[in-house]
Structure 1
Amino acid sequence: MTTTPNHHHHLTLIYPPKPSSFLKSLPLRPNSFTIKCTNNDNNNTNGGLKNLLSGIVDNRVDELLKKEENRVLLDGLDKAAQRVELAKLELAKIEQQEIENQRIKEYVNQLEIRAAEIEECQKEISEARALVEEAERSLEVEVDDKDSMMSETEREAMYKNKERFESVKAASISAIVGTLAALPISLAQVTDTSQLILPSAVTFISCALFGVTFRYAVRRDLDNFQLKTGTSAAFGFVKGLAILGEGPPLKLEVGSILSHAFSGAVYVSESLLIFLFAAVGLEFCIKLGILSPYPIETSVSTTKID
């Protein structure tokens, strides 16, 4: 292949008749072709040379790829590349698993540390509980010693003071609840608020006495319905009949007898309702622990009975 200049100063390539034989002889005879170019443009000459060489290389590569043995090699190369990629993926998975295992180990170590701390705290709590129990036992021993040092007279006086205090509480609770329950009845019977003073005072005192009597009568038998209602009914009848006695005298006439009977039934019913409310209030306070039933100490009462 030779190059000749033309009149327009361009590079002209003259190819040999057989390019394949030329390519085979290319490595053995590197100077088998000459290039002649004009001096007008070096850049155009270099570009043409590059195009020539790239075309030759492309043709040579195509011929190599068309050969069967080269295809087998290329397929093996592709498979090897795929195996390398798979190996990389497996390696990445293994590294990720190692990282996760390391994290799990760190978490397990933290759990072990926490478990040790919890165990230490439990030991401290057990020791503190033992100290508290020992202190309670020592306090009980001191109380028992004080009780043993007290004489029988002092014990009895202390017991009576406690019983008096509980009786005062029972009277206060019963008086407050009974007075509030009687207030609507009293308002319906009077025309002026100043007239409420005397009925409210009588109700307050009677309910206070009922509270003390109820505590001593029922004692610890709070499930005895007949005993509770009987005490309330007794006070209700007494108060209702007392109010009836303050009214006009009874005459031996049918109208007077019926009128007094009706009035007595009304007064007894109102009083019974008041004392029933007071009894319910006392029982509720006993169940809540606000008020102690009689007797306060069962052991003391038992010794007294014996």
Structure 2
Amino acid sequence: MTDLERLESLKAGVFSAIMAVLVDSAAAIYLSSRAGELGLRLGIVALSGFLFGVTYRYAVRGDSNPHLKSGVIGAFGLVRGLAQLEGLEIPEGITAIALLSLFESLGLFGIAGIGLDFALKRQWVKPML
């Protein structure tokens, strides 16, 4: 891997992290009661968004396969959404809170993926060769 490829991966990660933080910031402010919780939540979202962006760039490459794109989004969304559920006490079965957590995570990475696709089409970030 060349330095140029690493730079493009860094750009993809930073772009995706910014998108994820912007998407999640309203929910983070609403759900976090203390500044420390808000900072931690947004930090985790930024790191997750960064890793998503790098992975998405590697996985998608120059391919326009929608299943590949949705698979990366689904994998990141499910892992984040299910990890959030781990700390909740959910009475028997899946509740609206559980579904909301999953859909929020899928939406977060879905929007980040759409933004990254836009950046790739505009050549702000170059696809992996």
Q: TM-score, normalised by structure 1?
A: 0.40
What is residue 174 of structure 1 aligned with on the other side? 16
What is residue 124 of structure 2 aligned with on the other side? 290
What CA distance in whole angstroms lies between the structure 2 residues aligned with 1:170 and 1:270? Answer: 22
What is residue 257 of structure 1 aligned with on the other side? 92
What CA distance in whole angstroms lies between the structure 1 residues aligned with 2:95 and 2:79? Answer: 15
What CA distance in whole angstroms lies between the structure 2 residues aligned with 1:219 and 1:240? Answer: 26
What is residue 26 of structure 2 aligned with on the other side? 184
Offset at residue 230 of structure 1 (A): 1.6
Offset at residue 245 of structure 1 (A): 0.6
Matched, 1:213 2:48: no
Q: Residues 142-167 of structure 1: CA distance to partner in whole angstroms, max 9, x if unpaired?
A: xxxxxxxxxxxxxxxxx521111111
What is residue 3 of structure 2 aligned with on the other side? 161
Q: What SS class does the counterpart of residue 4 from structure 2 fall into? A: helix
Offset at residue 265 of structure 1 (A): 1.5
Offset at residue 195 of structure 1 (A): 3.0
Q: What SS class does the counterpart of residue 92 from structure 2 fall into? A: helix
Q: Residues 222-270 of structure 1: CA distance to partner in whole angstroms, max 9, x if unpaired?
A: x32222112111100000000111223x6xxxxx123x44332111111
What CA distance in whole angstroms lies between the structure 2 residues aligned with 1:214 and 1:208? Answer: 10
Offset at residue 169 of structure 1 (A): 0.5
Offset at residue 197 of structure 1 (A): 0.6
What CA distance in whole angstroms lies between the structure 1 residues aligned with 2:75 and 2:99? Answer: 14
Matched, 1:247 2:88: yes
What is residue 202 of structure 1 aligned with on the other side? 44
Superposed, 1:64-143 pairs within 5 Å as none
What is residue 78 of structure 2 aligned with on the other side? 237
Regions of 4+ moved over 4 Å:
none
What CA distance in whole angstroms lies between the structure 1 residues aligned with 2:77 and 2:92? Answer: 21
RCO comparison, higher one (Cα < 8 Å, 6+): 2
What CA distance in whole angstroms lies between the structure 2 residues aligned with 1:193 and 1:271? Answer: 22
Q: What SS class does the counterpart of residue 23 from structure 2 fall into? A: helix
Q: What SS class does the counterpart of residue 257 from structure 1 fall into? A: coil
Percent sequence identity is: 36
Offset at residue 191 of structure 1 (A): 3.4
Q: Between Structure 1 and Structure 2, how many residues are aligned?
A: 129
Q: Residues 83-137 of structure 1: CA distance to partner in whole angstroms, max 9, x if unpaired?
A: xxxxxxxxxxxxxxxxxxxxxxxxxxxxxxxxxxxxxxxxxxxxxxxxxxxxxxx
Cα RMSD after superposing both structures: 1.6
What CA distance in whole angstroms lies between the structure 2 residues aligned with 1:216 and 1:194? Answer: 33
